[in-house]
Amino acid sequence: MSITLVTGGTGSFGTTMVRDLLSRDDVDQIRILSRDETKQDAMRRSLNDDRLRFFLGDVRDPMSVRDAVRGVDHVFHAAALKQVPSCEFFPLQAVQTNVMGSSNVISAAEDAGVSSVVCLSTDKAVYPINAMGTSKAMMEKVAQAYARNSPDSGTTVSITRYGNVMYSRGSVIPVFVEQIISNKPITVTDPHMTRFLMSLVDSVSLVHYAFENAKPGDLFVRKAPACTVDVLARAVASLFGNDDPEIRVLGARHGEKLYESLLGREERAKSEDRGDYYRVPLDARGLEYELFVEEGSGENIEVEDYNSHNTEQLDIEGVKSLLLTLPEVRAELERHT
């Protein structure tokens, strides 16, 4: 009997993961640990599957995590505070959920003999400039330190890092769709800003890849195309029949970068190219300070980071094709065209 726990299982990513797990034959039970009883109830009704078990709780509360994790084989840890502005105003809340909460999940998993934990991270954790990214970078450090400090552990902890997931709750594409449908100008922050584009469904495959292939402390990213927000806005408008939309430029918001990096230079230098993915193995060196501080590693870091400016760039037609793969976009198109 195989049991998987998804923390944050009612979020955009969590839900997609749960649906995917339900479609597989090798999963006997799927547990969802999350805070919002209303969202759980809605999910219970819409999925209506007796393999689902809902645990009301919070990753901040070790007891609720411990209860949810008992008897589990795999944990996909997606519970997080992920909105940049809210974390910026309440950084300690991000610390409690994203850093301490992740540590609680890893400790409880180890105690319960879970075989594998995959932690969900974000490109905003690379050279972070905002509190959300900083807290996720710390979550990655907690996961990697666990792997480094517990070589005999039976629990493999790894990390998957994502760029922007298209149409996730609160993200820009639904905002653009709504603006176009209601004939409002499209609000673009900085037309030259680029973001990686990933569909939720593609993102799930990276999690499975990590469950199947991870060594302790591994970090995986999936290669992805990117586009500018100007191209994204025009692609959305064009899908809804407007090839010359009115665009209002707002300027970058607090804590935003012109482009995002999925791998830093230092990570890319030691990454392994695995076709659709990059794997960054754990830096398992010990605390021999003279190696770090006086002698160094003898390597020079000459490669560029892997970012949304230097990855494959999509044009309007390319983004339109990608948007049409999203069921949410197709549903809106059916309603409004």
Ligand X SMILES: O=c1ccn([C@@H]2O[C@H](COP(=O)(O)OP(=O)(O)O[C@H]3O[C@H](CO)[C@H](O)[C@H](O)[C@H]3O)[C@@H](O)[C@H]2O)c(=O)[nH]1
Selecting among 39, 82, 124, 184, the annotated active-site residue is 124
What angle in degrees, to the nearest 10, is found between the helix axes of 172-181 and 229-239?
40
Residue 121, strand partner residues: 161
Our finding on whether 88 is near ligand X (CB under 6 A) is no
Total Cβ atoms within 10 A of residue 300: 8
Residue 123's identity, in one-letter code, is: D
Residue 279 makes contact with ligand X by CB under 6 A: no
78 lines the binding site for ligand X (CB under 6 A): no
Q: Which stretch binds ligand X (CB under 6 A): 60-68, 138-146, 183-191, 214-222?
A: 183-191
Does 153 engage in binding with ligand X (CB under 6 A)?
Answer: no
Residues 208-227 that bind ligand X (CB under 6 A): none
**DSSP states along 123-142:** GGGSS--SHHHHHHHHHHHH
Q: Considering the complex, state which of residue 150 and residue 189 has its C-beta at the smaller distance from ligand X.
A: 189
Q: Measuring CA to CA, which residue among 23, 3, 19 is closest to residue 11?
A: 19
Q: Applying CB under 6 A, does 2 fall inside the site for ligand X?
A: no
Per-residue x/- marks for ligand X, 246-265, CB under 6 A? ----------x---------
Q: By rule CB under 6 A, what count of residues binds ligand X?
A: 20
Q: What minimum distance in Å lies between the beta carbon of 123 and ligand X?
A: 8
Q: Is position 308 an interface residue for ligand X (rule: CB under 6 A)?
A: no
For residue 51, the SS3 value is coil
Kindly tell me which of 254 and 274 has the beta carbon lying closer to ligand X: 254
Q: Segment near ligand X (CB under 6 A), from 53-61, 168-176, 268-276, 277-285?
A: 168-176
φ, ψ of residue 34 in degrees (nearest 5): -155, 170
CA nearest neighbour of 80 among 47, 24, 43, 125: 125
Could you say whether residue 177 binds ligand X (CB under 6 A)? Answer: no
Question: Applying CB under 6 A, does 82 fall inside the site for ligand X?
Answer: yes
Locate the DSSP E strands across 163-281: 186-188, 194-196, 219-222, 226-228, 247-249, 261-263, 272-274, 277-280
**Contact flag: residue 175 with ligand X (CB under 6 A):** yes
Match 């160094």 to its residue by tokens: 296
Residue 84, interface with ligand X (CB under 6 A)? yes
**Is there binding between residue 98 and ligand X (CB under 6 A)?**
no
Q: What whole-number distance in Å separates Cα of residue 62 and Cα of residue 45? A: 28
Indicate the angle between helix axes 327-336 and 316-324, nearest 10 degrees: 90
Query: Smallest distance from the beta carbon of 260 to ligand X, in angstroms?
Result: 7
* Helix, strand, coil in percent for the chain, rounding step 5: 45, 20, 40
Q: Is 124 in the active site?
A: yes
Q: Which residues bind ligand X (CB under 6 A)?
A: 82-84, 122, 124, 132, 164-165, 168, 170-172, 175, 187-189, 193, 195, 229, 256
The residues carrying an active-site annotation are 124
